[in-house]
Amino acid sequence: MDRRKFLATVGIGAAATTLAAPALAQDVRNWKLVSAWPKNLPGPGVAAQTLADRITTLSGGRIKVTLYAAGEIVPGNGVFDAVSEGTAELYHAVPAYWGSKSKGILLFGSQPFGLRADEQFGWMYHGGGQALYDEMYGRFGIKPFLCGNSGPQWAGWFKNEIKSVEDLKGLKFRTTGIASQMAAKLGMAAESMSGPAMFQALQTGALDAGEFIGPWTDSALGYYQVAPYYYWPGVGEPSSAEECGVNAEVFAELPDDLKEVVTQACQGLYNPVWTEYMTKHAQSLRTLVSEHGVQVRKLPDDVIAAMGVAAQEIMQEYLADDDALVVRITESFIAYRDLVGGYMSYADNGQMNARAGVFGY
């Protein structure tokens, strides 16, 4: 996809709902969904529109959700506060953007050497994560739901090759969340910015490298035009959950059936979003290599090892945090990672290693 054409495209509006009887109009709730993304950005921008449409449809038009892209009502980094303060009813973003509120929030989105997309959902709904998620966001008047996942992210786009840990020192690098803390421990100057801003910064030299999501979204934003080396694995974000935050008072006032509508609209979107990313990442990577000459490179083993040491240090710092809730979130995450990690070494890892063997199909 041509980056300039994408950024110039006018987004599709939220689905309109016509009420069967005018007498029902007084029961319609008109909600504003503010997102952290450009409208229709492949991946998260598309998912935000889908979420708005799903709530509208599943509620039978009793909740009519209109999507506002980043900058239309508030900047992308302002959507959390907009919902907390009641300027909008709900938002679509990622937990990695809210570390300034509490470092504990970051664990709900992605963790270096952490949970895969399926494991993240498992922690939330079968390992006690959702109760902690509710408790943390409740401090800010928000009811949170996971509503998608990008799957494994990439290590990033680099202007120059990375041959050792020394090559990372001093690099100006775009990333977010706990991955930015890991990058800082390796001597990188970690900077947070939007996806489109990352392109401009790479182009002008304000950045030396950066990561955003993965091949599908990254190709739409044109990073291959300004940085030729695309590195994997993205150990900083083995998955990255997308979330919907609903103003807690607004959610509490809903009748039970509409509470369930919002809940199921979010939770039911998780797997379709994740599997769409997985499919289109794979397709886009082929295009990046075959048509744009992108150099796909694996991070050197010593770099991955250094990142692992840094991640371990960060988790120890979280376990010693003064906020007891941050400690409980960290303990719960680590316990679940250890539980499913031990099982996956036999299950999914075993299957994937076997499938990678030399077979004829």
Q: How many domains is the chain built from?
A: 2
φ, ψ of residue 29 to 5 degrees: the values are -105, 120
Query: What CATH code is carried by the domain that includes residue 115?
Result: 3.40.190.170
- Asked if residue 3 belongs to a known ligand binding site, the reply is no
Q: Domain holding 160: CATH number?
A: 3.40.190.10
11-15, 49-53, 136-140, 207-211: which has the minimum mean pLDDT?
11-15
Confidence of residue 10 (pLDDT cuts 50, 70, 90): very low
Find out whether 80 is annotated in a ligand binding site. Answer: no
Alpha-carbon distance of 350 to 343, in angstroms, equals 10
Residues 52 and 174 in one domain: no
Q: Looking at the structure, do residues 102 and 247 belong to the same domain, yes or no?
A: yes
- Distances in Å between the Cα of 111 and the Cα atoms of 174, 229, 288, 306, 318 are 16, 24, 27, 16, 12
Report if residue 327 sits inside a domain.
yes
Residues 145 and 269 in one domain: yes
Does some domain include residue 339? no
In a domain, 246, yes or no: yes
pLDDT digits (tens, 9 = 90+) for 54-99: 999 999 999 999 999 999 999 999 999 999 999 999 999 999 999 9
* Whether residue 222 sits in one domain with residue 112: no
Domain identity same for 178 and 302: yes
Residue whose tokens read 């000459």? 293
Write the pLDDT tens digit of every residue in 116-142.
999 999 999 999 999 999 999 999 999
Q: Are residues 31 and 170 in the same domain?
A: no
- Whether 144 and 165 share a structural domain: no
Q: Tell me: the pLDDT tens digits for 289-310? A: 999 999 999 999 999 999 999 9
Mean pLDDT, residues 164-193 taken together: 97
Largest Cα span, the chain: 69
Q: What angle do CA 303, 338, 175 make, to 5 degrees?
A: 40
Residue 237 annotated as part of some ligand binding site? yes
**Residue 244 and residue 92 in contact, taking contact as beta carbons nearer than 8 Å:** yes
The model carries a pTM of 0.91
Separate counts of helices (H) and strands (E) for the chain: 15, 11
Structural domain boundaries, residue 114: 10-17+27-152+238-278
- Same domain for 65 and 39, yes or no, is yes
Q: By CB neighbour count within 10 A (0-12 exposed, 13-18 middle, 19+ buried), where does 304 fall?
A: middle
Asked if residue 166 is part of any domain, the answer here is yes
Flag whether 174 is marked binding: yes
Strand ranges in the chain using DSSP code E only, listed in sequence order: 29-35, 63-68, 90-93, 142-149, 156-158, 172-174, 189-191, 209-210, 229-232, 241-247, 295-298
